[in-house]
Structure 1
Amino acid sequence: MQRRLLWFLDIDWARATEADASALVGWLRTAPNPQRRRRNPNSPQPGSVNPRTGKPYLKAGYAPSTINHCLTVISGFYAYHRHYNRGPLINPVPESRAQRRDLAHRAPRTAKSRSSGGPDCASGSPRPIRARFRTGCGTSSSPP
């Protein structure tokens, strides 16, 4: 968890729970981002639309991608300490089923074997170049 929030809640980082992670998300959703303060009084309001480009200006708070990045970093921090048997055994940032499904292809235990031909040898129609210039893919001819 961010040190500021844990300090404010008077919680040790090793005792943080999922409720504390929810409190962090709620705080980030409502807190103003100090880097987006407008210093010029004539500058456009946060979230308004630029009349020239049609794009919206950044809102005053934290973007959802920033909140997700924060949660990813915190989750990695707790996973690192769990790997070395320090801190809590349960990560306070819950892992979603959709995230596990999306990252399932990266699991080394469920790696699929590659085809015998490899990625360069298509099993369909031949490539549109002359056969005598084709290398690999089961042909023994070589260029002149």
Structure 2
Amino acid sequence: MARYNKIYGGPVEEVKPQVHEAICTTAVLPGTALVRTAGAFVQANASSKGRIFVAEDNYLAMKGVDDAWPANDRIIGVELLDEQLFRVRVPTGTSITQDAALSVNAAGKFIPATTGTFVVAFANETYNNTSGADQLVSVRAAKGYHFA
């Protein structure tokens, strides 16, 4: 069971987040980092650069945050904007501290940034994921991308 039930966390006075639609050839869970390549979404990885998106929950089909988008489906990616809050996937066994710099692993999940990795977000909360499953953690996008 997810800790949150939505990927977009606000603020509520903002207009809806910037969303983009594209085909994704692999199944992805909401909260996974994405990049766009040749007009299609692919899972981001540690060497991904440029605009980072987060897979949105499939609200069009009334699916939850733990329901994966099917492979080869047109999915919704939310553009990470620094003034908004998002919930992103953190792998099991990962400890996140508030304000920690986060990068992306090979599976598009958010992890603490290490030296030489791109910082794409900052944790908005402290959470030690010992749940045995990926969990959603609240983050804000980093202003511009930089190395840890």
TM-score, normalisation: structure 2:
0.22
Greater helix content:
1
Greater strand content:
2
Structure of larger gyration radius:
1
- Structure with the larger RCO, 1 or 2 (CA within 8 Å, 6+ apart): 2
